[in-house]
């Protein structure tokens, strides 16, 4: 199969997943008893019916548009500005700075982005990346929820392989990048053509939080993270969307080196789309995000000790 077909298939797959997630969140919100104003605000924050100004990262419609623009911008840039023989890598960055709990959620976006930027800079690579938030449903104990803020990115450049690998190894053994999930904090891998290559990874970077993770323990004492889909509670998905709603989509993107050109073009096109949407449909009037989310009267929120998110 032609490489372009794999890329297009991954894009269409992500768009379909986004539509299913949007319907799931709409049904979840509609099933919760609340005041009409609050209902309208949450629906707007999720970009389901209406929208909020400022491109909140919880806006499912805007996330889909951000992904499609990202796909187009990355494709165009790589074709015309990066030689075909330049090494291209897919990266994941995780550490305890991004770990928090459902009962006292604290999202340290600025600190985590700064650490990730500095680490990529030590490798000599250019990069563009996205921060995501995902729940782990059995860490540190069964039936407890931990949230992990981590980054995925596309990196490229001609930095010497030994020096790059040495920089990654140093980070993976650094106390500053301690990771209680027992995975290497920095993971760089080659693109897989049958998964859509770098464009497929770009779609993955912008996927909605429509599944959770579970820690799996093996007999040899090692652990790994497995996808948790079938029993992923809708209320937990809403909790992740609550955290995302405090950030804008551009806030979650970052760049290193020449990645700044990609990020600049992506944000310009996304904001142009947002302005056009605002002109067609007036955004929801400004309101308190914390008050809109505060302790929803749902089964999930009743079973958990609710605390608002701390953001810095």
pLDDT score, position 263: 98
pLDDT above 80: residue 8:
yes
pLDDT category at 192 given cuts 50, 70, 90 is: very high
What are the tens digits of pLDDT across the range 39-51? 999 999 999 999 9
pLDDT score, position 180: 85
pLDDT score, position 9: 94
Q: What is the mean pLDDT of residues 121-135?
A: 97
pLDDT category at 3 given cuts 50, 70, 90 is: low
The residues, ordered by sequence, that sit 6+ positions from 84 with a Cβ below 8 Å of its Cβ are none
The residues, ordered by sequence, that sit 6+ positions from 242 with a Cβ below 8 Å of its Cβ are 58, 293, 309
pLDDT category at 305 given cuts 50, 70, 90 is: confident
Do residues 105 and 244 touch, judged by C-beta distance below 8 A?
Answer: no
Do residues 155 and 89 touch, judged by C-beta distance below 8 A?
Answer: yes
pLDDT above 70: residue 193:
yes
pLDDT above 60: residue 1:
no
Per-residue H/E/C for the chain: CCHHHHHHHHHHHHHHHHHHHHHHHHHHHHCCCCCHHHHHHHHHHCCCCCCECCCECCCHHHHHHHHHHHHHHHHHHHHHHCCCCCCEEEEEECCHHHEEECCCCEECHHHHHHHHHHHHHHHCCEEEEEEEEEEECCCCCCCCCEEEEEEEEEEECCCCHHHHHHHHHHHHCCHHHCCCCCCCCEEEECCCHHHCHHHHHHHHHCCCCCCEEEEEECCCCCEEEEEECCCCCHHHHHHHHHHHCCCEHHHHEEEECCHHHHHHHHHHHHHHHHHHHHHHCCCECCCCHHHHHCCCCCHHHHHCCCCCCEEC
Q: What are phi and psi of 87, to 5 degrees?
A: -60, 135
Asked if the peptide bond before residue 268 counts as cis, ω within 30 degrees of 0, the response is no
pLDDT score, position 141: 74
What are the tens digits of pLDDT across the range 280-303? 999 999 999 999 999 888 888 877
Q: 132 or 5, which is more confident?
A: 132
The residues, ordered by sequence, that sit 6+ positions from 267 with a Cβ below 8 Å of its Cβ are 250, 253
What are the tens digits of pLDDT across the range 18-30? 999 999 999 999 9
pLDDT score, position 289: 96
pLDDT score, position 288: 96
Distance (Å, whole) CA 227 – CA 211: 7
What are the tens digits of pLDDT across the range 196-240? 999 999 999 999 999 998 888 778 777 777 887 777 889 999 999
pTM of the model as a whole: 0.94
What are the tens digits of pLDDT across the range 84-125? 999 999 999 999 999 999 989 999 999 999 999 999 999 999
Q: What is the mean pLDDT of residues 127-154?
A: 91
The residues, ordered by sequence, that sit 6+ positions from 57 with a Cβ below 8 Å of its Cβ are 63, 244, 245, 247, 248, 249, 251, 252
pLDDT score, position 179: 87
Supply 155's token pair.
């990196």
Do residues 270 and 57 touch, judged by C-beta distance below 8 A?
Answer: no
pLDDT category at 2 given cuts 50, 70, 90 is: low
pLDDT above 80: residue 143:
no
- Other CB atoms closer than 10 Å to residue 158's CB: what's the count? 12
- For the chain, the structural domain boundaries read 3-295
């Amino acid at each position: 199969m032609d490489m372009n077909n794999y890329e297009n298939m991954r894009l269409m797959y992500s768009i379909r997943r986004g539509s299913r997630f949007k319907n799931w969140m709409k049904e979840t919100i509609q099933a919760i008893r609340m005041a009409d104003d609050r209902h309208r605000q949450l629906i707007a924050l999720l970009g389901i019916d209406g929208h909020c100004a400022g491109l909140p990262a919880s806006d499912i419609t805007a996330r889909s548009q951000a992904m499609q623009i990202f796909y187009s911008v990355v494709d165009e840039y790589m074709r015309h500005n990066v030689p075909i023989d330049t090494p291209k890598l897919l990266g994941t960055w995780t550490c305890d700075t991004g770990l928090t709990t459902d009962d006292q959620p604290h999202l340290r976006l600025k600190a985590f982005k700064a650490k990730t930027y500095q680490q990529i800079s030590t490798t000599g690579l250019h990069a563009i990346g996205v921060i995501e938030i995902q729940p782990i449903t059995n860490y540190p104990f069964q039936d407890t929820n931990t949230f992990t803020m981590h980054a995925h990115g596309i990196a490229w450049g001609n930095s010497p392989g030994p020096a790059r690998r040495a920089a990654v190894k140093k980070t993976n053994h650094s106390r500053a990048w301690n990771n209680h999930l027992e995975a290497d904090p920095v993971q760089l891998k080659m693109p897989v053509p049958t998964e859509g290559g770098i464009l497929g990874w770009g779609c993955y970077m912008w996927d909605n939080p429509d599944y959770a993770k579970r820690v799996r323990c093996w007999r040899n004492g090692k652990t790994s993270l497995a996808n948790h889909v079938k029993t992923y509670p809708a209320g937990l998905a809403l909790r992740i969307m609550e955290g995302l709603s405090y950030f804008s989509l551009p806030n979650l993107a970052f760049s290193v080196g020449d990645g700044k050109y990609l990020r600049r073009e992506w944000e310009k096109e996304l904001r142009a789309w947002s302005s056009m949407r605002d002109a067609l449909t007036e955004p929801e009037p400004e309101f308190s995000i914390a008050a809109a989310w505060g302790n929803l009267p749902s089964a999930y929120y009743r079973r958990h000790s609710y605390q608002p998110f701390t953001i810095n």
